[in-house]
């Protein structure tokens, strides 16, 4: 199978601020742009920030909506973490280790962009846990279970 790229469109309220955050701070390459949208290259995947005039309220947690990347090389995850810390980006959740000692063990951190979009960046200790085996029940944190119960 030939390489397939991921595409995600998301809302922003300011194109110039988007280009600064995603381009200068996070390190995305800026692609085509109009007054209403800008294409961003996030590690070879296409993000499209679309301008909205609707208010974008902060999320009340990481669930149910966030996006991000899973790094397959821990040093690459660490490099993005270091860049994010050096540039003093807003961490929604600080770096942590989830499910230590289990097959699903992974390192993760969440960033929040200026428009309240949440991004998660992960590195799994065991590659087979990325999509997981059906016998593994753990997905997310206990917070997700609380969110599901309130819906």
Q: How confident is the model at residue 133, as a pLDDT?
A: 63
**Percentages of the chain per state (helix, strand, coil), in multiples of 5:** 25, 35, 40
Span 118-134, mean pLDDT?
Answer: 89
Q: How confident is the model at residue 150, as a pLDDT?
A: 38
Q: What is the pLDDT of residues 3-22, one digit of tens each?
A: 899 999 999 999 999 999 99
Contact 22, 40 (CB under 8 A): yes
132 band by pLDDT with thresholds 50, 70 and 90: confident
- CA dihedral of residues 78, 81, 82, 87 (deg, nearest 10): 160
Span 115-120, mean pLDDT?
Answer: 97
Q: Is the pLDDT of residue 142 over 60?
A: no
Q: How confident is the model at residue 135, as a pLDDT?
A: 61
Q: How confident is the model at residue 144, as a pLDDT?
A: 45
Distance CA 18, CA 24 (A): 10
Distance CA 138, CA 104 (A): 8
Q: What is the pLDDT of residues 78-112, one digit of tens each?
A: 999 999 999 999 999 999 999 999 989 999 999 99
Q: What is the pLDDT of residues 26-67, one digit of tens each?
A: 999 999 999 999 999 999 999 999 999 999 999 999 998 999
151 band by pLDDT with thresholds 50, 70 and 90: very low
């Amino acid at each position: 199978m030939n390489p397939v790229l991921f595409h995600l469109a998301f809302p922003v309220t300011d194109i110039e601020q988007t280009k600064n955050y995603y381009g200068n701070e996070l390190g995305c390459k800026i692609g085509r742009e109009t007054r209403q949208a800008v294409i961003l290259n996030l590690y070879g995947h296409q993000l499209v920030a679309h301008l909205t005039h609707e208010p974008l309220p902060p999320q009340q947690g990481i669930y149910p909506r966030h996006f991000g990347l899973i790094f397959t090389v821990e040093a690459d995850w660490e490099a993005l973490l270091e860049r994010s810390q050096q540039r003093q980006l807003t961490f929604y959740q600080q770096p942590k280790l989830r499910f230590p000692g289990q097959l699903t063990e992974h390192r993760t951190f969440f960033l929040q962009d200026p428009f309240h979009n949440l991004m998660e960046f992960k590195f799994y200790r065991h590659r087979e846990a990325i999509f997981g085996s059906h016998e593994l029940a753990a997905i997310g944190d206990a917070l997700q279970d609380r969110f599901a119960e309130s819906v």
